[in-house]
Amino acid sequence: MSGFPEFNYRGNELFVESVPLRKIAETFGTPCYVYSRSALTKAYQKFETAFAGRDHLICYAVKANSNIAILNLFAQLGSGFDIVSGGELQRVLQAGGDPGKTVFSGVGKSRAEMQLALNADILCFNVESEAELITLNEVAQAMGKIAPVSLRVNPDVDAKTHPYISTGLKENKFGIPASAAASIYQSAHQYSNIRFTGLDCHIGSQLTELGPFMQAGEKMLQLLNTLQSQGLEIEHLDLGGGLGIRYAHETPPTIENYVASLCAGTQHIKQRLLIEPGRSLVGNSGILLTRIEYLKHTSARNFAIVDAAMNDLMRPALYDAYHEILPVINNRAELRKYQVVGPVCETGDFLGHDREFAVETGDLLSVMSAGAYGMSMSSNYNTRPRAAEIMVDQDKTYVIRQRETIDQLIASEQTLPQ
């Protein structure tokens, strides 16, 4: 439990801050996501404190969890934002986020999204291909705007993470090779409505070692030196995100050590440092609360069939990802090994394999470390309404997203005329 300071047992009952999870289930039903305001705030403040004395901007990666309440909390704390769609930009604006602290990443920005971001006066577009740069220049020219741009460089560094979330190798779809990036910067005069303001990279997610970060940073500094020697003014260096969290037995760098390494490696440059943390801000700040519908015992395996499913938390099915699963009431009875599965009609619908509990039908389970890429990746597969989201602030609970209804799911659909 050391990785979840705001989620702790009091006696044999699991609490979030000062609220028993049992009470949240009774009040709001299950499945539901539950977040700790204290955990979110402390994580952000750790980044800010670690950067003390260094010109910097923390841009929260909205894709990790895009709930308006969470975005608003980070905006109040002074955060910037890293977005990957026009929809995420609209969420940031709705939440009171500052577009002047917002960077727009992603390989497939549409013209409409470019127009939306230019009208909002965002800080920077992280451009990922020369074709995108040409299109952005055309859009900005038609609007009479100048688009601030940072090229996302692919440094060809192995992030040593799951291949689906590794983004910094030359065979990945992300970014521009360093040699090509240098050439594009040198041809800046060809783009009348582009202003190159930064240099950017991001090599992947859930990194648990400092080595890949340092390796990528060194390559970025080499490119920065090359560009500056040619007279190009670069205002900021964006080193991306990707710092991992503890799901099981990982030992990722602390926020303090991660930031200290970034600052030490860039202490000789004047550029502002940008980072784009997502998972490390929200991952261990939230859980998925679910109830056991049935216990099924067979000669081969025992199943705890719960009311949450792969549509609620996709990571186990998609990445074979591990999430610790804890009983909300921790009985001392004889333990039994269970496969924790949902009701969706897929064998891949599981939340955890071979977990030992002493549980009964109707008991509650807490799926830990679900604050990142849980709700934001959820779906309506099997026509399942998405879960409610609850924020806990000390002894108070707030609904920050109502549970969907079936009526809402089918409201936009129509039958064919007879």
3-class SS at 162?
Answer: coil
State CA 66 to chain mean position distance: 8
Residue closest to 205 by CA, chosen among 150, 282, 261: 282
State CA 299 to chain mean position distance: 40
Amino acid 165: pLDDT: 40
Amino acid 187: pLDDT: 86
Instruction: Tell me how far apart the alpha carbons of residues 262 and 266 are, in angstroms, rounded to a whole number.
Output: 6
* Residue 129: pLDDT over 70: yes
Domains plus CATH for the chain?
Answer: 7-36+283-410 (2.40.37.10), 105-277 (3.20.20.10)
Tens digit of each residue's pLDDT (9 = 90 or more) over 249-295: 889 999 999 999 999 888 889 999 999 999 999 999 999 999 999 99
- The question of whether 345 is a catalytic residue gets the answer yes
Q: How many residues does the chain have?
A: 418
Average pLDDT over residues 205-227: 86
* Residue 166: pLDDT over 50: no
Amino acid 164: pLDDT: 43
Amino acid 162: pLDDT: 44
Residue bearing tokens 């610790």: 324
262, two tokens = 């970034």
**pLDDT band for position 3 (cuts 50, 70, 90):** low
Residue bearing tokens 């923390």: 58
Instruction: Tell me how far apart the alpha carbons of residues 74 and 78 are, in angstroms, rounded to a whole number.
Output: 6
Average pLDDT over residues 357-383: 97
Amino acid 88: pLDDT: 98
Tens digit of each residue's pLDDT (9 = 90 or more) over 218-244: 888 888 888 888 888 899 999 999 899
Sheet holding 19-20, edge to edge: 7-10, 13-16, 19-20
**pLDDT band for position 157 (cuts 50, 70, 90):** low
Amino acid 160: pLDDT: 52
Amino acid 406: pLDDT: 97
Between the alpha carbon of residue 190 and those of residues 130, 131, 134, 212, 387, the distances in Å are: 12, 13, 10, 34, 49
What's the mean pLDDT when you consider all of the chain? Answer: 92
- Choice among 32, 201, 263, 345 that is catalytic: 345
Percent of the chain with pLDDT over 90: 78
43, two tokens = 């994580």
406, two tokens = 């079936």
* Residue 169: pLDDT over 50: no
**pLDDT band for position 85 (cuts 50, 70, 90):** very high
Helix/strand number for the chain, H first, E second: 12, 21
Amino acid at 131: A
Amino acid 173: pLDDT: 58
Radius of gyration from C-alpha coordinates of the chain = 23
Average pLDDT over residues 22-28: 98
Instruction: Name which residue leads in pLDDT, 395 or 172.
Output: 395
List all residues 6 or more positions away from 257 whose beta carbon is below 8 Å from its beta carbon: 210
Instruction: Tell me how far apart the alpha carbons of residues 303 and 300 are, in angstroms, rounded to a whole number.
Output: 10
Q: Can you say whether residue 294 is alpha, beta or left, with left for phi > 0 and alpha for psi between -120 and 50 degrees?
A: beta
3-class SS at 406?
Answer: helix
Q: For residue 177, say if its preceding peptide bond is cis, omega within 30 degrees of 0.
A: no
